[in-house]
Amino acid sequence: MNVRVARAAWAWGRGVSCRRGASSFLLPPPGAVDVEELLRDATAAEEGPREASVRRLPGQCSVLLFPGQGSQVVGMGRGLLRYPRVRELYAAAHRVLGYDLLELSLHGPQEALDRTVHCQPAVFVASLAAVEKLHHLQPAVIENCVAAAGFSVGEFAALVFAGAMEFCEGLYAVKIRAEAMQEASEAVPSGMLSVVGQPQSKFTFACLEAQEHCRTLGIENPVCEVSSYLFPDCRVISGHLEALQFLQKNSSKYHFRRTKMLPVSGGFHTSLMEPALEPLAQVLKAIDVRKPLVSVHSNVNGSRYMHPEHIRKLLVRQVVSPVKWEQTMHAVYERKKGTEFPKTFEVGPGKQLGTILKSCNLQAWRSYSHVEVQEADEDLH
């Protein structure tokens, strides 16, 4: 991929002006800054003819990882505001969302930021703003990017980065997704439980017994399912709160070493989210989706997206399917023995994906860096 295409692909290069497309979100007010115009400088110098790109060695390439819901924290974005175009990005988000996302991200309160309807857009925008910081500090990382993956809502940010959808349309889809998932989560008391297990842990059996426990409490059609595969012997289990409480109380029976409730409001990536499917499917039909310019891996199966309809289909299915992150990491970093690993950058709040990568692939993790979004600058290596 040449420099012009790479820079055009990252985050917003294929359209951030919040103009009206097939979707129906609001236009920016008259005279509002056109973010796309602000971004053209990044690619203008490369518009002329270029020689064919030299094939890069694996160690010169990069992979970007985009975090998901649960990584949000008050103050995220503070470490990004000095970089070009970040404030314009948040201004564009204000127009799409109808509220001041930057104010909420910087000052909270945490309870409001943790609500699904707010934290999904907040993580999405902070992650793409972190890409702008990375582009400013190390443009070669963006130019040499060969793959991207995002955890749950982070997959939307990865696709925007890869040029598969425009920033504002991607954010609008996230807005509709978050609202629908918030509504679904309020219909049934549910949540997500992180479980660190052992090779002998009985995840499936534990979920079945937790469902049976719920039936004894009079709960019809109880849900308790593995909703994320994080790294070997570590899963997230989602479902009715009563089921998760049962698992915590009986964790030793199933050889669980540690359990922790996650700061989310519902049993995501399970059948409890079925009411959210139709609103998301409708908005994805309405927006312009393109083939990614770098490889983006799907949460549903770990495979690369191949064409726009593939993206639309799997982004909807992802809402009720387990996030196969461990499998995705294996797909992204699979290589012949002795081949160097690419540099990996986690762009967005928290370092959870780096921690998971360390457990999935220690060699790949040795080339990992995090792009700080909360405080002032840090050097990236």
Pick the catalytic residue: 62, 105, 152, 228? 152
Q: What is the 3-state secondary structure (H, E, C) of the chain?
A: CCHHHHHHHCCCCCCCCCCCCCCCCCCCCCCCCCHHHHHCHHHHCCCCCCCCCCCCCHHHCEEEEECCCCCCCCCCCHHHCCCCCHHHHHHHHHHHHCCCHHHHHHHCCHHHHHCHHHHHHHHHHHHHHHHHHHHHHCHHHHHCEEEEEECCCHHHHHHHHCCCCCHHHHHHHHHHHHHHHHHHHHHCCEEEEEEECCCCCCHHHHHHHHHHHHHHCCCCCCCEEEEEEEECCEEEEEEEHHHHHHHHHCHHHHCCCEEEECCCCCCCCCHHHHHHHHHHHHHHHHCCCCCCCCEEECCCCCCECCCHHHHHHHHHHHCCCCEEHHHHHHHHHCCCCCCCCCEEEEECCCCHHHHHHHHHCHHHHCCEEEECCCCCCCCCC
> Catalytic annotation on 152?
yes
Confirm if 123 and 67 have CB atoms less than 8 A apart.
Answer: yes
Pick the catalytic residue: 269, 297, 298, 321? 269
The two tokens of residue 236 are: 């997230």
Cα-Cα-Cα-Cα torsion 306, 308, 310, 312, nearest 10 degrees, comes to: 150
Catalytic residues: 152, 269
